[in-house]
């Protein structure tokens, strides 16, 4: 079995694969500082809770955008699973050509998403990840990572709204029944969700215009992505497990 670990700015997402089948998904916060033993015990406990023997984990693959956790996490994998993990970074085979100005600046999560979208849905493809930040990455038909756009994530925008204003409350992020809001909470929800739908559609449109790729497939992922993907025809595919699938594919290319 393969353990795929995606370390994001908000959460650590863990997937367990039996060959190509995703058997289980777990999440833990990435904002807490943990020792290698704490990571090891957490991971083993999560696996056991879902009926998976930690001793069945034969390989581990990790992508991370949070460097501070990597020493403890790598040590935990080696100590508790007796394997040396594959870490997404320079020298790793991905099948994606990085043709941007400084390839080292491209986050591991974006590379993993690009691998998954290109391998599973073909190219050219625009990958939209609604994470802590929202990213739009253009992968051409030959597998070249051609361009990327980064904007504040919808949760960051919401947090700024209620933390930087004296009277606006913390709210649930969801689409209200109508954009014609009648109270403070639904007016905030309308501005956040409809505003983000508008941003998403405009960026996709501009990418198509400037790239000249009119038949560009758009694949979305990320926790809050479904709220947006369900409300626009600009997104053809929503795949919440895209990053974990990409990690498995990278493992296959590097084992």
Take residue 218 and report the two structure tokens written for it: 């758009």
Give me the pLDDT at residue 141, please. Answer: 94
For the chain, domain boundaries: 2-87, 97-247
Q: Which residues of the chain have pLDDT under 50?
A: none
Does the domain made of 2-87 have the CATH classification 3.40.50.1000? no
Same fold flag, 2-87 and 97-247: yes
Q: Which fold has domain 97-247?
A: Nucleotidyltransferase; domain 5 (3.30.420)
* Catalytic site residue from 109, 113, 129, 239: 109
Residues whose CB falls within 8 Å of the CB of residue 102, separated by 6 or more in sequence, listed in order: none
Active site residue 53: no
pTM (global) more than 0.85: yes
- DSSP SS3 for 34: coil
What is the pLDDT, as a whole number, of residue 101? Answer: 63
Q: Quick: pLDDT tens for 170-184.
A: 888 889 999 999 999
CA gap 137, 146 in Å, rounded:
8
For Cα atoms 200, 133, 64, give the angle at the middle one, nearest 5 degrees. 135
Whether residue 223 contacts residue 244, with contact meaning beta carbons closer than 8 Å, is answered with: no
């Amino acid at each position: 079995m393969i353990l795929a670990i995606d370390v994001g700015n908000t959460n650590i997402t863990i997937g367990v694969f039996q060959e190509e089948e995703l058997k289980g998904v777990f999440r833990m916060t990435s904002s807490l500082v943990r020792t290698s033993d704490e990571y090891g015990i957490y991971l083993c406990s999560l696996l056991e809770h879902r009926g998976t023997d930690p001793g069945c984990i034969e390989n581990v693959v990790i992508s991370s955008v949070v460097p501070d956790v990597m020493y403890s996490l790598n040590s935990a994998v080696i100590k508790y699973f007796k394997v040396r993990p594959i870490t997404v970074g320079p020298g790793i085979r991905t099948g994606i050509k990085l043709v941007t100005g400084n390839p080292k600046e491209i986050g591991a999560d974006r590379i993993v998403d690009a691998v998954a979208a290109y391998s599973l849905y073909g190219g050219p493809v625009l990958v939209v990840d609604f994470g802590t930040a929202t990213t739009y990455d253009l992968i051409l038909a030959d597998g070249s990572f051609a361009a990327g756009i980064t904007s504040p994530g919808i949760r960051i925008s919401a947090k700024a709204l209620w933390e930087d204003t004296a009277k606006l409350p913390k709210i649930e992020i969801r689409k209200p029944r109508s954009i014609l809001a009648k109270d403070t909470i639904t007016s905030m929800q309308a501005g956040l969700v409809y505003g983000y739908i508008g941003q998403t559609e405009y960026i996709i449109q501009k990418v198509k215009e400037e790239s000249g790729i009119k038949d560009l497939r758009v694949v979305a992922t990320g926790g809050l992505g479904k709220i947006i993907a369900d409300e626009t025809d600009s997104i053809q595919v929503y795949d919440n497990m895209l990053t974990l699938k990409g990690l498995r594919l990278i493992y296959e290319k590097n084992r």
